Amino acid sequence: NAGVTQTPKFRVLKTGQSMTLLCAQDMNHEYMYWYRQDPGMGLRLIHYSVGEGTTAKGEVPDGYNVSRLKKQNFLLGLESAAPSQTSVYFCASSSGSGSEQYFGPGTRLTVT
């Protein structure tokens, strides 16, 4: 079991470029989440999904889009990257809304 994996691990983008972060889980979890981690702040929820084909906004969704076409994958897209999106992005999954979350290793994104 790989658990939760994230691709890529690191990325540098220029302002205005686009990219997609991939999260994959092999635990057959229904729920998946995308968070960002910034210095001095707690993990903040960007978007989440409660099942294949569903997505919903979290606390800080602006500037991001997501898709959950397959149960095991949750994609986070940045259409036009901004320096304010420089952050470490974590994906997580869980079996239910109140269940413990399993986190991926994170993706460090720098937007110059």
Partner 1 sequence: ILNVEQSPQSLHVQEGDSTNFTCSFPSSNFYALHWYRWETAKSPEALFVMTLNGDEKKKGRISATLNTKEGYSYLYIKGSQPEDSATYLCALNTGNQFYFGTGTSLTVIP
- Contacts with partner 1 by CB under 8 A lie at 4, 31, 33, 35, 40-45, 48, 50, 56, 58-59, 90, 97-106
Q: Please, what is the minimum distance in Å from the beta carbon of residue 26 to partner 1?
A: 15
CA–CA distance, 48 with 34 (Å, rounded to integer): 6
Q: Please, what is the minimum distance in Å from the beta carbon of residue 42 to partner 1?
A: 4
Given the complex with partner 1, which of 11 and 44 has the nearer CB atom? 44
CA–CA distance, 106 with 87 (Å, rounded to integer): 10
**Tokens 């869980």 appear where?**
94
Residues 6+ apart with CB under 8 A from 104: 3, 4, 5, 6, 23, 90, 91, 92
Given the complex with partner 1, which of 17 and 103 has the nearer CB atom? 103
Q: Please, what is the minimum distance in Å from the beta carbon of residue 4 to partner 1?
A: 8
Given the complex with partner 1, which of 62 and 100 has the nearer CB atom? 100
CA–CA distance, 31 with 74 (Å, rounded to integer): 10
**Tokens 């978007």 appear where?**
47
Given the complex with partner 1, which of 51 and 83 has the nearer CB atom? 51
Q: Please, what is the minimum distance in Å from the beta carbon of residue 81 to partner 1?
A: 24
